[in-house]
């Protein structure tokens, strides 16, 4: 007997370690999707099948065996637990559109997993509760240099500001994981949403950005969803900061291809910027530079 199903105000759709076929790739995905708010949390792994071409030009793929599927499923589960991508997408998506949205974000958006665990990132552990007034960057410029050589103090490198300013501005958006922190005197779960505008030189990896951060009590994500007007306002703030007080970092050579115009995703560049924002040099988030 078949039934007619439909979404209600509290409907959540989720699957763990579902597999999809995409050409020569077999993709393992775990996800959780709130149909009324559009909040989507997911993680994934990709298995590339070996293939042979027959005489008639057709391709035959060697499917993953049980051991390979188990290993990929384990990685997907671990990523979903500790490094999920959390974003806001359209509401009330049907099943096929949920899967296609995840696949699109994997290829052209946020990739397979969320940010690394850092003391200053927005993972579930090791964050001190902080008083958050306005988002801003420290006046101390010395913390721009990073041990992994991906970020550099502009005083120590030659930056072609004119060339960077002529580059096309691109936007990124990321919703962080809920954390308990001080919110106007109350220690409650709070979620930050990052809006980033950047310009970059794909040849040398030099990148400048401005950002805006929205901070809301986690329970208000359902009660007060981010409207198109709010999104536009945050991007305008990020663009103004990029124009007037840009932050600088240098993308490693390994990931500079993600700065090109048409690329499958800019996952690693996004994580570099987010981790840079969350370093909190001088105690404030690095969303703009102050003299």
Provide the token pair at 153: 């103090």
At residue 250, what are phi and psi to the nearest 5 degrees? Answer: -115, 125
Name residue, tokens 């105690």: 283
CA dist 121 and 280 (Å) reads 10
What is the pTM (predicted TM-score) of this model?
Answer: 0.55
Name the β-bridge partners of 22.
25
Q: Which residues contact 18 (CB under 8 A, 6 or more apart)?
A: 28, 29, 30
Q: What confidence score (pLDDT) does residue 117 get?
A: 45
Q: What confidence score (pLDDT) does residue 130 get?
A: 25
CA dist 89 and 100 (Å) reads 12
Nearest partner of 199 among 165, 161, 232, judged by Cα: 165
pLDDT by residue for the chain (291 residues), tens only, comes to 779 999 999 999 999 999 999 888 899 999 999 999 999 999 999 898 887 777 777 778 889 999 999 999 999 999 999 889 888 899 999 999 999 999 988 887 778 888 654 333 333 322 222 222 223 322 222 223 333 333 444 445 688 888 999 999 999 988 777 778 888 888 888 888 899 999 999 999 999 999 999 888 887 666 667 788 888 999 999 999 999 999 999 998 888 999 998 887 888 898 889 989 988 777 788 898 865
CA dist 284 and 136 (Å) reads 6
Residue 43 Cα to chain centre, angstroms: 11
């Amino acid at each position: 007997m078949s039934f007619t199903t439909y979404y209600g105000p509290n409907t959540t759709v989720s699957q763990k370690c579902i597999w999809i076929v995409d050409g020569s790739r077999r993709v393992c995905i775990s996800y959780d999707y709130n149909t009324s708010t559009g909040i989507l949390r997911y993680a994934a792994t990709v298995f590339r099948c070996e293939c042979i071409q027959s005489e008639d030009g057709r391709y035959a793929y060697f499917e993953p065996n049980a051991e390979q599927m188990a290993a990929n499923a384990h990685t997907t589960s671990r990523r979903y637990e500790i490094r999920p991508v959390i974003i806001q997408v359209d509401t009330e998506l049907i099943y096929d559109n949920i899967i296609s949205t995840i696949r699109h974000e994997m290829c052209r958006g946020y990739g397979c997993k969320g940010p690394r665990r850092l003391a200053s990132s927005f993972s579930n552990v090791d964050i001190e509760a902080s008083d958050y007034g306005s988002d801003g960057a420290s006046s101390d410029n010395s913390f721009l240099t990073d041990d992994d050589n991906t970020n550099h103090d502009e005083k120590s490198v030659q930056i072609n500001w004119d060339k960077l300013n002529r580059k096309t501005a691109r936007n990124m958006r990321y919703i962080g994981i809920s954390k308990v922190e001080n919110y106007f005197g109350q220690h409650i779960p709070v979620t930050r949403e990052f809006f980033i505008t950047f310009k970059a030189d794909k040849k040398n990896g030099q990148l400048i950005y401005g950002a805006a951060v929205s901070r809301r009590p986690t329970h208000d994500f359902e009660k007060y969803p981010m409207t198109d007007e709010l999104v536009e306002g945050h991007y305008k703030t990020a663009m103004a900061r990029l124009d007037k007080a840009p932050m600088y970092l240098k993308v490693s050579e390994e990931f500079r291809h993600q700065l090109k115009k048409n690329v499958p995703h800019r996952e690693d560049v996004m994580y570099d910027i987010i981790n840079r924002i969350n370093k909190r040099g001088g105690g404030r988030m690095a969303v703009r530079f102050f003299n």
